[in-house]
Structure 1
Amino acid sequence: MFFFFFFFFFCSLPTRNEAFWKELDHVKGLWKNKKDLHVEQVGIATLFGLECFAWFCAGEIVGRGFTFTGYYV
């Protein structure tokens, strides 16, 4: 089972790499033509960024043992 996980993971790396660069090129194109962006697109991108930040904060809180002040040492 352990072998299969790594085999399938390494087999999917080329397609993931290709998809990443396609997405990055798309974002660069949007940034170049930022005057053509619609409010809806900007709103969706903003909400996505806020969601990523919220998940980061939740992960930090879980990593600290569900405390807001710091780690228990």
Structure 2
Amino acid sequence: MLAKQLFYTRLASIPGRYELFWKELDYVKNLWKNRPDLKVEDAGIAALFGLECFAWYCAGEIVGRGFTFTSYYP
């Protein structure tokens, strides 16, 4: 019963997430248009966010390989 409730709760949150995605995308487009006015702090935060995304990607790949750094198990 709990799984069903969780499913419908997640399903109900999709329209809100969809709207927030487009708002964030519009914000990024606006920043890109006005990039000469971009502050160093904002650029630094964006760079750190990109670095964090890359780090989580690398961690996920390592976990997916069975905690090996070189290759997948044969």
TM-score, normalising length from structure 1? 0.96
1:26 maps to what in 2?
27
Superposed CA offset, 1:6-57 (max 9, x none): 1001100010000000000000000000000001100010001001000100
State the identity as a percent.
66
Q: How far apart, CA to CA, are the structure 2 residues paired with 1:71 and 1:28? A: 39
Q: Which residue of 2 aligns with 1:70?
A: 71
Amino acid paired to 2:6: F
TM-score (norm: length of structure 2): 0.95
Q: Deviating runs (4+, > 4 A) in structure 1?
A: none
Q: What residue identity is the alignment partner of 1:43?
A: G
Runs of at least 5 residues in structure 1 that lack an aligned partner in the other structure: none
Q: Report how many residues are paired.
A: 73
Q: How big is the shift at 1:5? A: 1.2
Hey, what does 2:6 align to over in structure 1?
A: 5
